[in-house]
Amino acid sequence: MFTGIITDIGHVSRLDMPDNGPDHAGGDLRARIDTRYDMATVEIGASIACNGVCLTVVDKADGWFEVDASAETLSKTTLGGWAQGTAVNLERALKVGDELGGHIVSGHVDGLAEITAMRDEGASTRFTFRTTPALARFIAPKGSVALDGTSLTVNEVDGATFGVNIIPHTKTHTTWGTLRVGDHVNLEIDTLARYVARLAETA
């Protein structure tokens, strides 16, 4: 579990396709991500959210870790577009006793959202996104949503489009300062919204 509070910006430094050997069992892509995390405190098998996708650390050394991503993950998220140098929002898994600064995020991406508009509002930037109607029904004004692993508050919803404000701190400490209209981001809807909708269907 995660909270959507990004704690490092990593960079993809290596990408390998599987060779069907034991070192690549279970993954269709192995990625090495450079990080400022103290990797001595990260165990093999630990979970790290990479642009909102919960991935397992399969190898590590000082300054980097490696993860495997399946073909399913590559097809359903933005990870299929990773290249050497790609910046990645990182968050380590929540520990009991940690501060819940965002909202509960599972790291299980539901789909993609496309940036359709950006405009400055003071020092902040208003982003408008479009997603599928099936996912939009779970997004509500003033509710929470995780985009590229970042916990954000929804400002408004209009059909399959919705908007959020990105403050200067978030633009500086995540990848949001590099995104442009037409880019896609990983979208995870709020778990609470999912269960409320399910209860309404069965009521």
Same domain, 163 and 127: yes
> Residue 151 and residue 101: Cα distance in Å, rounded?
9
Read off the pLDDT of each residue in 41-67 and give the average, rounded to a whole number. Answer: 98
- Is residue 2 one of the residues assigned to a domain? no
Does pLDDT of 172 surpass 70? Answer: yes
- Is residue 99 one of the residues assigned to a domain? no
H or E segment to which residue 114 belongs: strand 111-121
What CATH number is given to the structural domain containing 39?
A: 2.40.30.20
Residue 47: its pLDDT value, please?
Answer: 97
Confidence of residue 24 (pLDDT cuts 50, 70, 90): very low
Q: Is-contact 64 44, C-beta < 8 A?
A: no
C-alpha distance from residue 143 to each of 14, 87, 153, 158 (Å): 37, 27, 6, 14
Residue 167's domain comprises 111-202
Which stretch of 8-17, 43-52, 82-91, 96-105 has the lowest confidence by average pLDDT? 96-105
Same domain, 143 and 195: yes
Q: Is-contact 98 2, C-beta < 8 A?
A: no
- Is residue 97 one of the residues assigned to a domain? no
Same domain, 24 and 88: yes
Read off the pLDDT of each residue in 187-197 and give the average, rounded to a whole number. Answer: 81
> Residue 161 and residue 159: Cα distance in Å, rounded?
6
Q: Residue for token digits 């919204």?
A: 193
Does pLDDT of 155 surpass 60? Answer: yes
H or E segment to which residue 196 belongs: helix 191-202
Q: What tens digit of pLDDT does each residue of 79-138 get?
A: 999 999 999 999 999 876 666 777 889 999 999 999 999 999 999 999 999 999 999 999
The token pair that represents 2 in the structure block: 């995660």
The pLDDT > 70 percentage for the chain reads: 90
Closest listed residue to residue 145, CA positions, set 174, 102, 181: 102
> Residue 128 and residue 119: Cα distance in Å, rounded?
9
Q: Return the sign of the alpha-carbon dihedral for residues 11, 127, 154, 189.
A: negative
